[in-house]
């Protein structure tokens, strides 16, 4: 009894502490602890902005620029509230600090349906946000960058503006409320006096503290909502933009890694004599599997060619990974067995009684779908430059997780994290691959072998494809019921795949994460359609293939499953597929408006002109919401004489809330369409005896320029807070193309990549 009383008392006290902590104000995100990388003469007004005597405004951005235009978008938020002229804006990477921790991605990752948020779920989201704010994990991912920084970046600008106004008003002996700002100048209309921001900070007089500020209403925006040119665009066009591969610190050496042929393999024995006998070779070191990576042997040389040549000359005996050597057939059998097995998996969402509704349905439609593993295949392969010295460690890298990268380097080198300096660079593509730090930890390990000299570790394209953390392969099974009038009355979805988050948490944080992984089922459990009866379940399949986050994650394949099957159901109901979807969105006016606009802009329901070679063209539609953003797409598709699908045009309508920069919206949707078409038409990673068979872009094809369609993007304007944008353009394109191919051929394709069967030939 004493033990039970003690336990219950302890649990009650813990609960009270959690509740009390939850009621406290959340940690501020305005002023950090880490010093900012200031120019000479700059004054930091808070952790997000500094102003120089020349009037130049520096926005400190905590997000990676990997082609999505986020540096420009975040600078726009700051400049808007600061009333700074756009011509005066520049950006710098923020240091590693808790105030920049990504809150939106973690909160959005909770396994809640967007239409079913109740008091308990709101409480969990609040406590999660507070906890994540304490942890302060810097991360660029989950299409969350603008959403996560929407408030703190604007608050930083508004606070800095209020401080400058207060300083000017104090020097003039007037009330701050009598002053206005515009284009980097504070004005007092009554006396005709004005002073620029640069002159105010040049006095070196401490600026007054400001307790409260009011953010602008959307109708007062002058910069937000305009198609501003990207800040780094000119440097990229001139070839002067700084990527990690461009880094050339004095004394630079180069390293190449000879990886195990099987993912996760280990070095058992190495004969290094032939490699060390080659010219310009400086050192050799065995690399253990770090942060989920594969083992290998690294050779350091004066240049990359000699390093690669020496790595190829190594005689290595390898040890298989603990998980064995699975092949694609083993994986597919395991997925199918899980889909059809007794394990019901996790019920992410349920409405009504779906079994009874299916029993009473006049028509039941059933189908199975499948999607393969996918690689990230960023144009810039993994690379990192590290110097281990007596003064600490310098790391030049493009990463989506600078704080985690810093901690990984500190662990490998035995240096305190505070003495590891991350020099963030532009990324030549991320797509989730640079959420991993295996290649960064490897570079730090190699740099220890030549202490005092910087070493650049560069992967080959083959290394990249064969040692990636893949987008999980997945299978799904659907059943839908229609009543006698063709109305949808029941929807049952069940899927099976590996789970990403448990693997990711284990290799990066050495943590076991219990509970469901939303990323496995997102895109089929959280759809916005109004099902009278529905059940969505997912079975997590434990396999030894390393998997990771890939652009749009679960949405990337679940949208194909869901929207293709939705077309099947509409066809069985003898209904127009676009109007069939709109009927299921009667209580969702924003989502329904996307489809209504899409019908007008795409010419839905009107004849489709033939292709230039006279081939018949058909349209297919898909609608999907991911990361808070709704996207509808219509694809116009024909078949080449050899039966290859050709996508001529994709019309997209987007509701992402406030479009901070409409030009970025169009660019990201165009990018998502092209990236998604690569996967839809070509993408597949296969395993044979534990090894990835694809070694380069001849085996892992990306969309060619001649295959790229015309993409037309229409952005709905509204005053809702901004949602995600880097990924939502991708999920709808595969089902839109598949649905167009069905309209064209009468054949329903249920597996990716899409392969139209040829008469008399294999599928």
Read off the pLDDT of residues 106-143 as tens digits, 9 standing for 90 and up.
999 999 999 987 899 999 999 999 999 999 999 999 99
Beta carbons within 8 Å of 593's beta carbon, 6+ residues apart: 655, 716
Q: What is the pLDDT of residue 763?
A: 44
Beta carbons within 8 Å of 514's beta carbon, 6+ residues apart: none
Work out the percent of the chain whose per-residue pLDDT is above 70: 96
| Cβ neighbour number for residue 448 with a 10 Å cutoff | 16
The side-by-side arrangement of strands in the sheet containing 43-46 is 43-46, 49-51, 57-61, 89-93
Read off the pLDDT of residues 158-184 as tens digits, 9 standing for 90 and up.
999 999 999 999 999 999 999 999 999
Task: Output the pTM of the full model.
Answer: 0.95
26-30, 261-265, 392-396, 721-725: segment of lowest average pLDDT: 26-30
Read off the pLDDT of residues 276-317 as tens digits, 9 standing for 90 and up.
999 999 999 999 999 999 999 999 999 999 999 999 999 999
Q: What is the pLDDT of residue 761?
A: 54
Read off the pLDDT of residues 561-583 as tens digits, 9 standing for 90 and up.
999 999 999 999 999 999 999 99
Beta carbons within 8 Å of 634's beta carbon, 6+ residues apart: 598, 602, 604, 619, 620, 621, 650, 651, 736
Read off the pLDDT of residues 310-347 as tens digits, 9 standing for 90 and up.
999 999 999 998 888 999 999 999 999 999 999 999 99
- Pairwise CA distance, residues 51 & 74, whole Å: 16
**Is residue 721 classed exposed, middle or buried when 0-12, 13-18 and 19+ CB atoms within 10 A define those classes?**
middle
- What is the average pLDDT score of the chain? 94
Whats the size of the chain, residue-wise? 763
Asked if the model's pLDDT at residue 211 lies above 50, the reply is: yes
Asked if the model's pLDDT at residue 762 lies above 60, the reply is: no
Asked if the model's pLDDT at residue 691 lies above 80, the reply is: yes
For residues 446 and 258, the answer to whether their CB atoms sit within 8 Å is no
Residue 479's H or E segment, with its range, is strand 474-482
Q: What is the pLDDT of residue 25?
A: 66
Q: What is the pLDDT of residue 2?
A: 42
Q: Which of 207, 215, 214, 182 is nearest to 46 (CA)?
A: 207
Distance linking the first and last C-alpha atoms of the chain: 69
Q: Which of 236, 247, 240 is nearest to 395 (CA)?
A: 247
């Amino acid at each position: 009894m004493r033990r039970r009383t003690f336990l219950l008392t302890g649990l009650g006290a813990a609960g009270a502490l959690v509740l009390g902590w939850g009621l406290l104000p959340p940690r501020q995100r305005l002023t950090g602890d880490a010093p900012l990388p200031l120019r000479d003469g700059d004054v930091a007004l808070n952790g997000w902005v500094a102003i120089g005597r020349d009037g130049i405004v520096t926005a400190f951005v905590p997000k990676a620029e990997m082609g999505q235009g986020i540096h420009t978008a975040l600078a726009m938020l700051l400049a808007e509230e600061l009333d700074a002229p756009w011509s005066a804006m520049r950006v710098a990477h923020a240091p590693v600090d808790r105030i920049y921790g990504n809150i939106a991605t973690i909160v959005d990752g909770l396994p809640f349906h967007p239409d079913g948020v109740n008091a308990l779920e709101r409480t969990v989201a609040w406590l999660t946000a507070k906890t994540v704010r304490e942890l302060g994990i810097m991360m660029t991912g989950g299409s969350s960058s603008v959403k996560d920084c929407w408030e703190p970046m604007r608050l930083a600008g508004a606070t800095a503006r209020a401080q400058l106004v207060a300083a000017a008003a104090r020097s003039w002996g007037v009330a701050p409320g009598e002053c206005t700002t515009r284009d980097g100048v504070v004005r007092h209309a009554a006396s005709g006096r004005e002073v620029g921001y640069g002159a105010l900070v040049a006095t070196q007089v401490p600026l007054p503290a400001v307790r409260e500020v009011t953010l602008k209403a959307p109708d007062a925006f002058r910069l937000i909502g305009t198609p501003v040119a990207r800040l780094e665009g000119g440097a990229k066009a001139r070839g002067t933009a700084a990527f990690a591969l461009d880094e050339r610190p004095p004394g630079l050496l180069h390293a190449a890694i000879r990886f195990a042929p099987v993912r996760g393999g280990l070095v058992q024995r190495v004969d290094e004599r032939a490699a060390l006998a080659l010219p310009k070779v400086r050192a050799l070191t065995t690399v253990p599997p770090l942060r989920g990576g594969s083992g290998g042997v690294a050779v350091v040389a004066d240049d990359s060619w000699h390093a690669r040549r020496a790595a190829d000359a190594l005689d290595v005996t390898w040890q298989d990974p603990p998980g064995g050597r699975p092949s694609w057939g083993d994986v597919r059998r395991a997925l199918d067995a899980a889909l059809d097995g007794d394990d019901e998996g996790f019920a992410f969402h349920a409405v009504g009684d779906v079994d009874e509704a299916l029993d009473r349905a006049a028509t039941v439609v059933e189908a199975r779908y499948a999607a393969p593993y996918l690689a990230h295949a960023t144009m810039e392969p993994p690379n990192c430059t590290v110097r281990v010295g007596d003064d600490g460690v310098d790391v030049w890298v493009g990463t989506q997780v600078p704080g985690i990268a810093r901690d990984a380097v500190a662990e490998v080198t035995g240096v305190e994290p505070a003495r590891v300096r991350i020099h963030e660079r532009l990324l030549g593509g991320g797509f989730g691959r640079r959420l991993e730090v295996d290649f960064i930890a490897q570079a730090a390990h190699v740099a220890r072998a030549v202490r005092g000299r910087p070493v650049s570790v560069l992967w080959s394209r083959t290394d990249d494809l064969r040692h990636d953390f893949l987008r999980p392969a997945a299978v799904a099974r659907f059943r839908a019921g229609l009543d006698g009038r063709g109305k949808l009355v029941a929807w049952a979805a069940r899927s099976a795949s590996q789970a990403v988050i448990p693997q990711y948490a284990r290799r990066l944080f050495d943590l076991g994460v219990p509970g469901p992984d939303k990323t496995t089922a997102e895109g089929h459990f959280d759809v916005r359609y109004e099902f009278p009866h529905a059940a969505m379940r997912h079975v997590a399949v434990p396999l030894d293939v390393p998997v990771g986050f890939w652009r749009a994650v679960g949405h990337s394949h679940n949208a194909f499953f869901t929207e293709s099957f939705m077309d099947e159901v509409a066809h069985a109901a003898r209904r127009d597929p676009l109007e069939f979807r709109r009927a299921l969105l009667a209580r969702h006016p924003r989502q329904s408006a996307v489809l209504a606009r899409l019908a007008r802009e795409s010419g839905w329901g009107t004849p489709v002109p033939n292709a230039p070679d006279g081939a018949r063209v058909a349209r297919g539609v898909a609608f999907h919401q991911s990361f808070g953003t709704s996207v509808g797409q219509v694809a116009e598709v024909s078949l080449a004489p050899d039966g290859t699908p050709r996508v001529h045009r994709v019309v997209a309508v987007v509701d992402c809330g406030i479009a901070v920069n409409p030009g970025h919206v169009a660019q990201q949707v165009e990018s998502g369409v092209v990236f998604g078409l690569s996967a839809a038409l070509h993408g597949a990673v296969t395993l044979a005896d534990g090894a990835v068979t694809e070694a380069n872009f001849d085996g892992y094809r990306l969309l060619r320029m001649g295959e790229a369609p015309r993409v037309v993007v229409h952005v709905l304007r509204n005053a809702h807070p901004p949602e995600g944008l880097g990924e939502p353009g991708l999920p709808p394109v595969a089902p839109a193309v598949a649905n167009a191919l069905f309209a064209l051929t009468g054949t329903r394709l249920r597996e990716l990549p899409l392969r139209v069967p040829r008469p008399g030939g294999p599928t």
